[in-house]
A and B are shown apart, each in its own frame.
Chain A
Amino acid sequence: MGLSVLATSSLAAAQGPPSLAEVTRVLDDLYTSSASIARVELTVTTPRNTRTMRMRMWSRGEERALIVIESPARERGTATLRRERNLWNFLPRISRTIRVPPSMMLSSWMGTDLTNDDLTQSASYRDDFTGRIVGHSQDGHGWTIRYDANEGTVGLWRRIEFDVNEAGTLPVRARYFDRRERLARVMRFEDVREMDGRRIPTRMIIEPQDREGHRTELHYLEMDFDANVPESTFSLTQLERQR
């Protein structure tokens, strides 16, 4: 809601660079809302095969999320629950729930190029990073904004560079630099469409830089930003009841 207002105001002042505060807000709030339900298609490509999964995602604020796999059939009902920095996986085949230990947070989530950590990260660009507008992005159609992790911020990334569009209303590309300042991951935001009243990139492509030929594509099929998601959705008992 606030976003459309923002978009209009930014367009009006398209000549100069956008305001840092506004861009940061766009990036922080792009996919979040007080409660949302989404359907997502995830395509994982490795040099040797490609796998597609469909899943439903419920979320409340930034701290609660539930992801349930719908297909392929073999993994149907497998669920991941996130509460704050905790992550549980529910495995219907063996009717067990397993909490992911801290030592496994950097491991792959469900075989994708996302880590368990990505799912529990609720880093806010406003609070955890210091932003700076670097200048026009390299392709010339927008701006590059650099976010340096604040001292004491726990997380994978030392620095994240965003390319945003001319008006500063949409991300185009993000480059993630790890603690050793190496480019570790590039994320592209594509297929901007209106979904439930918001213009958002509906396709995100994640390419880890250290593993050639690997990529994960996240495609939003449906999005309800204003859903009714009760708190009870995010309980362990509910997790095991999911089918």
Chain B
Amino acid sequence: MKILVCISHVPDTTSKINFTDGDTKFDTNGVQFVINPNDEFGLTRAMWFKEKQGASVDVVNVGGAETEPTLRKALAIGADNAIRVNAEATDGFYVAKQLAKVAQDGGYDLVIAGRESIDYNGGMVPGMVAGLIGANFVNTCIGLEIEGDTATAIREIDGGKETSTTKLPLVVGGQKGLVEESDLRIPNMRGIMMARKKPLNVVEPVEASGETKAVQFEKPAPKGDVKLVSPDNVQELIDLLHNEAKAI
């Protein structure tokens, strides 16, 4: 089985978010970049398929040279090969078109991408890749087993979960649950050394249009101070929520 894991290069979850150039660009100054957490759950599940079922695992990212350390980290975790599509990831549809090309050229059986990146939260890349290559698709996937060409997937739905069966080729929108937080791997020294020797192929993008564009950013308005209520007077909280906040 050939697996492709799509890796988005995103600011660490603790990053302070700021913008530059008249609030038109994300300010990367002092920001630590990591593998998108939703992708990392998928990558770790892919490692399981590699170790238990002999799958091969490639990772791919659409981005400039600055994203290579993130791909190297994925290699250090255990992926076999990395591919970087040398283009700016301007819009989810554009990224999906690039990934679809890589997925098609490589003849992958399973493509895993995070259900969304934690920076733009577009939540469209895995579904669009599936639509573009005509593969089956399961989003918000929290459990995945594969036997031969049949997959059993569990999807998180509002208020519960749903189990389905489908055939490969399959695209999965991954998230926590594919593996547990405690299953995530920190690359060891041997992994890091080996990752330096593994192939990282840079390919040029296919001609494609972006369909959306983030033209302006803004930060939420600063919040007023919290109104404190005495623990001996919870009735006051109810009155405030009812009369002032109109929330109950």
Task: Determine if chain A interacts with chain B.
Answer: no
Query: A: which residues have CB within 8 A of B?
Result: none
